[in-house]
Amino acid sequence: MNTINKIVNENNTFSSDSPVVNVNTTYKQQLTPLNKLALWITLKVGSMRFFILILSWSALWLLWNTLGPKALRFDPYPAFVLWLFISNLIQILLMPLIMVGQNLQGIHAEIRAETDFRINQKSEMEIETILLHLERQNELILEILKKLDSQNQSSNNT
């Protein structure tokens, strides 16, 4: 939460005429190389390309070791010990990285949400100011119309 407040407060002190800062670039600039790596891995592992790669690798491995020539099978059916070991190793190594990447994505989403909220507050204040000006203009127009009407009535009476 500290990171969120720091980024939002440093870059989004809104006044009525201040420009809106892109918190996405600010957030990306503050990421460490390890965090960038975790985000990159999270994006790649969470893709259909990676899913198809793992599915193909598993299918080929299992088919080869089930239906391939007996002399060339290196991970015998039904245990597939080597395949299980490698699959578990991939899972054990990727799981923490994916969780770190998801946490970073969550922080980024919270920063964007906080910025959106502040922009909405700024917009609400500006709309309220515009409505007050319009109300004042309506009052002035009514006053002018009343004066014109009274002038017309006095000129008609004479």
What's the pLDDT at 156? 80
Helix (H) or strand (E) holding 132: helix 81-157
What's the pLDDT at 82? 95
What's the pLDDT at 2? 64
Q: How confident is the model at residue 139 (pLDDT cuts 50, 70, 90)?
A: very high
DSSP line for 14-68: --TTPPPP-HHHHHHHT--HHHHHHHHHHHHHTSHHHHHHHHHHHHHHHHHHHHS
Average pLDDT, the chain: 88
For the residues 102-123, what does the mean pLDDT come to?
93
pLDDT at 13 over 60: no
**Amino acid identity for residue 135 in this structure:** E
For the residues 111-121, what does the mean pLDDT come to?
92
Q: How confident is the model at residue 22 (pLDDT cuts 50, 70, 90)?
A: confident
Nearest-5° angle of CA 138, CA 144, CA 146?
100
Lowest mean pLDDT of 1-5, 94-98, 143-147, name the range: 1-5
Q: Is 8 exposed, middle or buried (0-12, 13-18, 19+ CB in 10 A)?
A: buried
